[in-house]
Amino acid sequence: MTSLDRRSVLRAAASAAAAGALASGCDPHRDVDAGAVRSAGGPSPSRAGHAPPARARAARPPTRVPGLPVQIAHGPRNGRAVALTFHGRGDPRMATALLGEAERAGAKVTVLAIGDWLDEQPAMARRILDGGHELGNHTMHHRNICALPAAEAYAEISRCADRLRALTGTIGSWFRPSQARRATDLVAGLARKAGYPHVLSYDVDSLDANDPGAPAVQRTVLDAVGPGSVVSLHLGHAGTVAALPLILDGLRRRGLRAVTTTELVT
Ligand SMILES: [Zn+2]
């Protein structure tokens, strides 16, 4: 993608945001689904031609890490690595622009994909893995999973796992609950039953889903980040795409580097 293309993506995203696009945060007080940016963005590039998606290279399956708690909020505090982790949904052009920014800086990220986004944008699974990034499960529909009856919560986890397996060969490396920073014991148990020994929480909330603008996202992350941090961010937000190079530069100045979550904790 040329810089001109990137600028047009950002302009399109900014106008979608100005038109009232709704955020899709992970916090328990938001139940708004994404889609406004997606629907404002014109035709969906990955559906062109209606060709079935090619199978992406296999994603790393979940790993049980001895010594780590069931819910992981950060990695080692005595290292130099951090993990940038993304709620995976939204305009695929913005997601592609963001992955490109990460790759230009030599950074790896972790995308927790929502199942219905993978249904609409199946090519994104390959794009994420081909960039050397990590892919995980962020439920099928991003409902308030900790408030659902057990059977419905399990279906939200297992249906997204099925999508990931069909597209990549595994259920993905990590599970993160939707609309909750931490899973309840019930949801953590259901995730384990679905094949995920750990739940991926986070210790730095970028608050980027509120669309505060790139400088605020940059400041919020860099003020809080330290060795071992797991940072929560969102695809599908223009301010996050614009903030990423600034965040990566700030990490570099602090001697920190962005790696996959698996590299962070193993
Ligand atoms: Zn989320």
Alpha-carbon distance of 13 to 114, in angstroms, equals: 20
Alpha-carbon distance of 34 to 25, in angstroms, equals: 9
Instruction: Give me ligand 1 centre to Cα 18, in Å.
Output: 21
Query: Is 113 among the domain residues?
Result: yes
Instruction: Give me ligand 1 centre to Cα 135, in Å.
Output: 14
Query: Is 217 among the domain residues?
Result: yes
pLDDT at 115: 98
Query: Is 186 among the domain residues?
Result: yes
For 81-112, the pLDDT digits (tens) are: 999 999 999 999 999 999 999 999 999 999 99
Instruction: Give me ligand 1 centre to Cα 51, in Å.
Output: 29
Query: Is 56 among the domain residues?
Result: no
Instruction: Give me ligand 1 centre to Cα 237, in Å.
Output: 13
Instruction: Give me ligand 1 centre to Cα 144, in Å.
Output: 10
Question: Which range of residues forms the domain containing residue 182?
Answer: 3-38+64-265
Instruction: Give me ligand 1 centre to Cα 24, in Å.
Output: 7
Instruction: Give me ligand 1 centre to Cα 169, in Å.
Output: 23
Q: CB–CB of 218/250 below 8 Å?
A: yes
- If one counts the domains in the chain, the total is 1
Alpha-carbon distance of 230 to 233, in angstroms, equals: 10
For 119-135, the pLDDT digits (tens) are: 999 999 999 999 999 99
Question: Which residues fall within 8 angstroms of residue 25, CB to CB, at 6 or more apart?
Answer: 32, 87, 179, 209, 210, 234
| Residue 27 in tokens | 């916090």
For 176-192, the pLDDT digits (tens) are: 999 999 999 999 999 99
Instruction: Give me ligand 1 centre to Cα 177, in Å.
Output: 8
Question: Which residues fall within 8 angstroms of residue 174, CB to CB, at 6 or more apart?
Answer: 62, 110, 112, 134, 136, 137, 196, 198, 200, 261
Query: Is 196 among the domain residues?
Result: yes
Instruction: Give me ligand 1 centre to Cα 30, in Å.
Output: 10
Q: What is the CATH number of the domain that holds 250?
A: 3.20.20.370
pLDDT band at residue 40 under the 50/70/90 scheme: very low
Query: Is 142 among the domain residues?
Result: yes
Instruction: Give me ligand 1 centre to Cα 113, in Å.
Output: 9
Instruction: Give me ligand 1 centre to Cα 138, in Å.
Output: 7
Query: Is 57 among the domain residues?
Result: no
| pTM assigned to the model | 0.83
SS3 content of the chain, % helix, strand, coil (to 5): 45, 10, 40
Instruction: Give me ligand 1 centre to Cα 10, in Å.
Output: 21
